[in-house]
Structure 1
Amino acid sequence: MSVGQALVPMMHKLNVRVLGSGEQTLVLVHGFGCDQQIWQKLIPLLQLLPVKLVLLDLPGCGNSRVSEEAIAEYPTLQAFADDLLALLAELELSAVTLLAHSIGCAIGMLAAIQAPQRFRHILAITPSARYQNAAPDYFGGFEAADIEQLLQLMAQNQFGWAGLLAPQVLAQTEPSAVTEQLTQSFLHNNPAFSRHFARLVFYADIRASLPLVPVPVSIFYTQADMIVPQQAIDYLVAHLPQARAVPLAARGHYPQLTHPDLVAQQLMRELGYGLV
């Protein structure tokens, strides 16, 4: 990290918003192609609880103050985890509950390994330890050719890839307001940083780190998730020291967009509040 970057407060760098107050702190970390707006349908429901919400935009996403010139400072997912830890230190937070989605879950797990005192529980929505298949005994859902095709599409057609990918990952056959929302989220991020982040995400492999995750992980999974197959969920459950699977009666990779009420009900149970 450059000296200039180091002097920027993480609150500013990651476009942090803090909402509410309460006995628990819930830190929300989004996934690839998104920013903190991906949680907007959940926020009013979570604000019914006595919790403090901390929302952020990961580096290079949304309105974070990280430009494509800083790409070299983020060579691995660990660099994103380091920024998350720096933010928690800046806010003097410990024993937080992390609500994460997709690759945000992997970033959160890496952060928890580095600083166990900062975390109490990870609520992981559609997570994966590795998206690429690894023959003969691991099925992550993608071959290298699939990943390269996506990266090539992103490079060739800055706008078209988002409209093609959004309905597929939502498991929706017809255009909808949700499809448009996700498409616009994909397009809101810096194109060069998005391509860099996509390569990190789809070639990520944190399988060796799973046994080191020091906190309980609740894994929320759906049906018809083209990004994370059931085998990847089963692998996480089998290799995390403290994990349990929470099935959602939902389809697609973004249940917080398509089924926010259902997700909120399950989160309330996990947080110990039952239904409100």
Structure 2
Amino acid sequence: MTTDLNILERNNVKIFGQGSRPMILAHGFGCDQGMWRHIVPHFERDYRIVLFDYVGSGASQLHHYNPIKYNHLSGYAQDVLEIMDELDLKDAVFVGHSVSSMIGLLAANQESQRFGDFVMIGPSPRYINDLPDYYGGFDRTDIDELLNMMQMNFYGWASYLAPIVMNNTERKELSDELEKTFCSRDPLIARQFAETTFLSDCRGELKHCSIPTLILQCSDDSIAPIEVGNYLHAHLQGSTLRLMNAKGHYPQLSHPEETASFIQQYLTAHH
């Protein structure tokens, strides 16, 4: 346990809600805890909500960013466990968006008693194809091009990627918000987080997870295609796969009602 820094300040942790059971909401790459603002009102009456920003995101303390530590998703998982230890969370509902699903999985594989239920929104254990056995949606050259673009023209990369991954063309304000969030990052940190995310491979970790899991699979998701959702469902024991009408990779922003409703149905049925 680290005592030389305030973990809650480091990760800009916010705690509120009227319930006793903890629900920790973990944002994805290029985002921050503000991404949950439409989901929180559905749960704050019944849960103790914990929001945070990963180091390098949102209002976290940037001077704690360590490129060696955060060169692997386990560095982020360590921070999640430190937050949970600090708040003494047990039987928590962990809601992870995108890469946070695997960060949460790595954390749970170390300290499973802190986790009661998993909700994974648009998760992927591996973004790069490993054909013929595994389809992740990207070739290695796609990822290299993306990382290269981030390095050469960070703001151009953000304006290119945001509308593609949001995939709600009729609601331009959504991709505008995402682009703005991307652009508010330190470009070097954002690029390293992208590299750590898109080159990660957590397939071998899936068999160690015993936490009941809800997988929310969006339709027409350019980051986590349906094949990935099916793969996770097949390899995570005790998992439930739900297909959403929501398009794109950010249903908590584009379709918060549907997202919250699926989570509520799942948690009610399991408790």
TM-score, structure 2 length as denominator? 0.95
Structure 2 distance, partners of 1:114, 1:206, is: 14
Q: Secondary structure at the match of 2:154?
A: coil
> What's the CA shift for 1:175?
5.9
**1:68–1:192: 8 Å Cα contact kept in structure 2?**
no
Q: CA deviation at 1:146?
A: 0.4
Comparing 20-29 and 201-210, the one that deviates more: 20-29
Q: 2:23 aligned with 1:23, yes or no?
A: no
CA separation in 2, counterparts of 1:6 and 1:142? 41
Q: Contact 1:68–1:190 at 8 Å: present in 2 too?
A: no
CA apart distance, 1:172: 2.8
* Aligned equivalent of 2:260: 264
> In the alignment, what sits opposite 2:232?
236
Partner of 1:266, secondary structure, is helix
Aligned residue identity for 1:106: M
Offset at residue 188 of structure 1 (A):
1.7
Q: 1:205 aligns with which of 201, 206, 211?
A: 201
**Aligned-partner residue type, residue 149 of structure 1:** E
Aligned match of 1:252 in 230, 248, 253?
248
Q: What SS does the aligned partner of 1:184 have?
A: helix
After TM superposition, give the deviation of residue 271 of structure 1 in Å: 2.2
Structure 2 match to 1:215:
211
Which consecutive aligned stretches of 4+ in structure 1 deviate over 4 angstroms post-superposition? none
Alignment of 1:28-47 (within 5 A): 28-47=25-44
Query: How many residues end up aligned between the 2 structures?
Result: 270
Give the deviation of 1:68 after TM superposition: 8.0
Which residue in 2 is equivalent to 1:154?
150
C-alpha contact (below 8 Å) 1:20/1:52 kept by paired residues:
yes
Note the C-alpha offset of 1:244: 1.1
Judging changes above 3 Å, is the alpha-carbon distance between structure 1 residues 223 and 69 closer, same or farther for their aligned structure 2 residues?
Answer: closer
Q: How far apart in 2 are the matches of 1:218 and 1:273?
A: 11
What is residue 86 of structure 2 aligned with on the other side?
Answer: 90
1:51-88, Cα deviation, whole Å (9 max, x unpaired):
11000001211111134852122221011101100110
Contact 2:55 2:65 in 1 (8 A): no
Following the alignment from structure 1 to structure 2, what is the Cα–Cα distance between the partners of residues 132 and 40?
A: 31
Structure 1 residue aligned with 2:58: 62
Question: How much has 1:40 moved relative to structure 2?
Answer: 1.1
Contact 1:67–1:193 under 8 Å retained in 2:
no
Correspondence for 1:130 among 109, 126, 148: 126
2:141 is aligned with 1:145? yes
Structure 2 CA distance for aligned equivalents of residues 164 and 175 of structure 1 = 16
Seen in structure 2, the aligned counterparts of structure 1 residues 60 and 206 have a Cα distance that, compared at 3 Å, is same
- Alpha carbons of 1:273 and 1:209: their partners in 2 closer, same or farther (altered >3 Å)? closer
Indicate the RMSD between aligned Cα atoms, in angstroms.
Answer: 1.8
1:99-110 alignment runs, 5 A limit: 99-110=95-106
Structure 2: stretches of 5+ with no match in the other structure:
none
Give, in whole Å, the separation in 2 of the partners of 1:191 and 1:30. 18
